[in-house]
Structure 1
Amino acid sequence: MKLHRLSAPLRAASGLEIGQVLLFGGGGAVVGSEGGMGGGVVIGLAIVLVLFVVQLGWEILYVQRFAYTLTDDSLDIDSGVLSRRERSIPIRRIQNVDITRDPFARLAGLAAVAFETAGGGDDAEGEIRYVTTTEAERLRNEIQRLKRANDGGESDEASTSADVSRAETVEDTDEGREELFVLSTRDLLAASALSLDLRPLLPVALLVFEGTRYLPSGVASAVVGSPRLGVVLTAVGSFLASAAVTFARFYGFRLWRSGDELRYERGLVSRYTGSIPFEKIQHLVVSESLLLRRFGYAALDVETAGYGSQSAATRGSESVVPFAERGAVLALARSIEGFGFDTPAFSRPPKRARRRYAGRYAIAVVAMTTGLFVANRLFEFDPLRWWFAPLALLVVVPFAAHYTWLHRGVATDEGFVLTRNGFWRRTTEVVPYYRVQTVNEDHTIFQRRWNLATVVVDTAGTGSLGREGARAVDFDRHEADALRETVRRRLRRSVIERRMERRRRSSGS
């Protein structure tokens, strides 16, 4: 089958990088501005148009030579312009099928379909851009049906045929959909208001203190000449930017169960629809920022197997509940197949770990102050004249050390190991023993001085960017040894029990 005829212009528009536009278009505008501002703008737009036409020509050739075929066993994709690539993705290896509709694709009624396998990564040729939304849904439903048929085996063809027929009926009529969670407008606004994201802080600060210089002189002098006003504007701008990102990301979020997988849909500007097979869920992450904890809310993510680095949306970690009351989050987490955990009492690191945190935070404050002092000597940036301000943080160092210690812990029961870390954003990770890949005990040169160690429990979902596994941090070396052996022993036992259970099911069928 072929891509939609509008795929070429959509791919060309998305293929133009902002860096290319700024470099070539902006350079042309500057060169052409010698004959007047209007001439510079015209030349800049002309260069951008030429870039688009070149990109469009390439994409037309790419779309014409792109073909895909879905068979009973594999998804075959043939692509390439100068060099051809024939790729066959086994159906049984496909772990996730994500559907993305960016703004232009939504206007055209099209969608992009991405297929994630156990290999992970960001391979663009594991993606079909673009097809109609009906074709995208058909591909995802058909792949799910084929996976069910393959998992049914060949030993009982009649049973498999019946299961496949039921699956087709469920998918075609959507009668088997079980709604699990819907983010209401009220909760979305609350989640946006309570979002605590510091990433917009630096760009907003640069915009406030540097961008206002180009505004009328009265406004510029009011902001630049008053650091307090600049700080207030930076804080308000960062809050609004963070809230806007959260609102756009989770707008219209809903989660439902379809067969043996979870499905979700979200997004205001770009619409994402993804699937999460139950069998690929490695462990759960309950996260609570400081503000969420204060008002009794939390979020739930699942870590899935087979992802490398992050791709278009979030890879490796998928949001299942972006914002809800903590009790509801835990209830939904326990309803996920294989995760009927209790909430045992957490044991904390030894109290001497607090002294280690206090020393580390004090060193960080001094280093920050030193860096600002050097920057103040090298650059003329008005806020840097307050380089000594971070020294005030030394007052809160003991409290920061205490609360870091207070929110760390580990707990074990017969089926799961749970770890907890973080004050500003506390995360509780729930790992079933049968999902454990490795159990490592680490102790840095600084930990050895305090006779402390960290136990890291890795699953197949913790190889993605930024994921380090469930971590019991800064426990006494003897406690860490005991925890590591407990997890290893229960891992072996759980694997044996699951193997015996599969044999019983196989013999019973």
Structure 2
Amino acid sequence: MNRLHHLAAVTHGFQRALAGLFVATSLVTLGTTFLEFGSATWTIAAAPIGFVLGGIYGVAYYMRYEYEVTDTTFDVASGVFSRRSREIPYRRIQNVDVRISVLHRLLGLAVVSIETAGGGQTEARLNFVSEEEADRLQREIRRRTARATESRSETGTEHDGTRETDPEADASAAVTERPGSDTSASADETAAERNSVSNESDARNHGVGTQSASRTRHDDRTRSLFELEARELLLYSFTSFRPALGAALLFFVFIAIDPVIDHLLTVSQPIGGPADLETASIGNYGVLTLVSFAYGVIITYLVSVAYTFGAYYGFTLSRAGRDFVYERGLLQRYSGSIPSEKIQSVTVTDNPLQRLIDYAGMWIETAGYGPESGTGSQSAVPLAQRDRVYEFTERLTGSETPQFHSPPTLARRRYVARYSIIAGVFVAAIFGVTLVTSLEQWYLAAIVFVAVPPAAHLRYVNIQYYVGEDHLVIRRGFWRRRTTVIPYYRVQTISTRRSIFQRRLGLASVVVDTASSSSFSLAPPTIYDLSLEDARDVRETSRERLQRSLRERAGDDELGLTVDFT
């Protein structure tokens, strides 16, 4: 059994010592304040006792924490008073994530997190090991995980619908050349490589070339697929906006609330803002609110740019055996893997700014935990030219170029009615404000109705779908448009949903669920507002092709299970 780095004893000891100090002083405060027991002078004795006991516990925790890489499992034993032993089978391991902060770099340390499929939290975390040990664990566990998965596939004991991803086809997506940088030799080499990949893929489709594929899966060599260049990093930073960072800024606003208010008053006063909060009118407050909102948006955007730049600095995506391997980060370096057999769907994303410059990104949805966001969603290509991203997506998934269909035009009229109701509620709210304040000219709020037709049109044109032979492709959204490619064998359920308004119009939505845990935090891929007949056709066709794909994958089922369960 192996132990953590010896510096972990210092860090664990100091952390638990501080915790012991806090507990000791809190108990004395609780006793003297609420129970009227003891006196404040007891803190002088309790504080060092708690500090020492906490430190001893932290060192004992380090001494009792052990781990080992065995042939079939990764074993972890921990606990001081209550001993806990865990054996994590390699076939369940989803990702081995390595995190190195600035302080860790100075000390030569790293944090290794081991995630399992279907888990929403870290299964095992090694705080701390050396950087060399972290790299060794990552490589060794990845190799053993690939071997365990392949062993199950070869013996025919895997019946959970896990995909046997074609590594050569995935690796062929490594189109890392930039426009204007191709030489004739490299172009010929790339073309020859693609032809070779195509031939190997065709051979496997006819049951040939299995040994070649197996040898490739055992190959631990890393092959570069994508590198985020400086220009792409800057474009990604300046075209991304993360509203969640605004909530984090509120904490700092509350700390310095008085200086912030004084600054906002100074800035807003020349354009009609109040001189102070006590003598301000309703109009002054309105100007102050608009200025505060604009400040919040601008600062959140600048923080978002800085965060995105730091988080995705030096982003690389590579192929190592069966897994995709990524690295990223400026101040805090991350590295991890995306198991190809756990991929549920692939989504191309873009926003209006990125579409304007003809760029897009690609995210991979996996079953269970995702180190990128904790929801199974991981960035494979943060930002690149849109044609390259779509080509990468088609090669990764093996899907054909989709021929999109749109909902009936009745759906657009429905969106016009919906947004008109929202605009009417907004105007009514402004009118209500005028009844209790001195605010006049409420009718100017009716200008929002001008935005109704274009908003309805933009929502309508960004709803598209394609029912392919092996994949279902769904596009939706305007501000963050998502084009999701879903293999049929990854579909968990496909259903039609109809609201009361849709039933009146003869419309329905088709909802597609996969095993990706991101569906718990985000809406699952949905084709909105099809005619009822088209929705039923999409559902039945998808279900038939799902059954066909499951039959093909269950052909070697030794248990004699049937997929004709519906």
Distance 1:287 1:390, change over 3 A: farther
Output one character per residue of 1:252-298: Cα deviation in whole Å (capped at 9) or x when no partner: 10101111110000112321111112111111000011111111000
Which amino acid letter does the alignment assign opposite residue 426 of structure 1? R
- Give the number of the structure whose alpha-carbon radius of gyration is greater: 2
Structure 1 unaligned spans of 5+: 29-47, 157-161, 504-509
Which residue of 1 is the match for residue 390 of structure 2?
Answer: 330
Which amino acid letter does the alignment assign opposite residue 140 of structure 1? Q
C-alpha distance in 2 between matches for 1:444 and 1:377: 35
Which amino acid letter does the alignment assign opposite residue 342 of structure 1? E
Which residue of 1 is the match for residue 34 of structure 2?
Answer: none
Which residue of 2 is the match for residue 272 of structure 1?
Answer: 334
Larger RCO, structure (CA 8 Å, separation 6 or more)? 2
C-alpha distance in 2 between matches for 1:15 and 1:295: 52
Distance 1:441 1:229, change over 3 A: closer
Q: Report if the CA contact (8 A) 2:16-2:55 is conserved.
A: no
- Matches of residues 144-293 of structure 1 in structure 2 within 5 Å? 144-153=142-151, 171=220, 176-201=221-246, 213-214=258-259, 220-223=265-268, 225=273, 227=288, 230=292, 232-293=294-355
Structure 2 unaligned spans of 5+: 30-46, 156-211, 274-286, 559-566
Which residue of 2 is the match for residue 36 of structure 1?
Answer: none
Question: Does the alignment pair 1:112 with 2:172?
Answer: no
Output one character per residue of 1:149-174: Cα deviation in whole Å (capped at 9) or x when no partner: 33454989xxxxx9999989x64xxx
- Give 3-state SS (helix, strand or coil) of 2:119's partner: coil
Which amino acid letter does the alignment assign opposite residue 454 of structure 1? S
Q: Report if the CA contact (8 A) 1:418-1:430 is conserved.
A: yes
Question: Does the alignment pair 1:351 with 2:412?
Answer: no
Distance 1:221 1:212, change over 3 A: farther
Q: Report if the CA contact (8 A) 2:394-2:401 is conserved.
A: no
Output one character per residue of 1:468-495: Cα deviation in whole Å (capped at 9) or x when no partner: 3321111111111110000011111122
Which residue of 2 is the match for residue 43 of structure 1?
Answer: none
- Give 3-state SS (helix, strand or coil) of 1:6's partner: helix
Which residue of 1 is the match for residue 378 of structure 2?
Answer: 318
- Matches of residues 312-461 of structure 1 in structure 2 within 5 Å? 313-336=373-396, 339-365=397-423, 367=425, 392-461=447-516
Stretch of structure 1 that moved more, 431-440 or 48-57? 48-57
C-alpha distance in 2 between matches for 1:104 and 1:401: 51
Distance 1:109 1:346, change over 3 A: same
Question: Does the alignment pair 1:4 with 2:5?
Answer: yes
1:388 CA drift (Å): 8.9
1:402 CA drift (Å): 1.1
Q: Report if the CA contact (8 A) 2:402-2:466 is conserved.
A: yes
Which amino acid letter does the alignment assign opposite residue 552 of structure 2? E
Percent of aligned positions that are identical: 37
Stretch of structure 1 that moved more, 259-268 or 91-100? 91-100
- Give 3-state SS (helix, strand or coil) of 2:307's partner: helix
Distance 1:212 1:152, change over 3 A: closer
Distance 1:219 1:413, change over 3 A: closer
Which amino acid letter does the alignment assign opposite residue 135 of structure 2? E
RMSD, aligned α-carbons: 4.2
Output one character per residue of 1:411-470: Cα deviation in whole Å (capped at 9) or x when no partner: 011111100000111100001112222212122233222222111122222455423332
**Partner residue of 1:472 out of 527, 530, 533:** 527
- Give 3-state SS (helix, strand or coil) of 1:100's partner: strand
C-alpha distance in 2 between matches for 1:146 and 1:362: 58
Stretch of structure 1 that moved more, 99-108 or 411-420? 99-108
- Give 3-state SS (helix, strand or coil) of 2:348's partner: strand
Q: Report if the CA contact (8 A) 1:99-1:114 is conserved.
A: yes
Stretch of structure 1 that moved more, 490-499 or 71-80? 490-499
1:136 CA drift (Å): 1.3
Q: Report if the CA contact (8 A) 1:74-1:89 is conserved.
A: yes
C-alpha distance in 2 between matches for 1:367 and 1:288: 31
Which residue of 2 is the match for residue 140 of structure 1?
Answer: 138
Question: Does the alignment pair 1:493 with 2:493?
Answer: no
Distance 1:195 1:87, change over 3 A: same
* TM-score, with structure 2 as normaliser: 0.71
- Give 3-state SS (helix, strand or coil) of 2:6's partner: coil
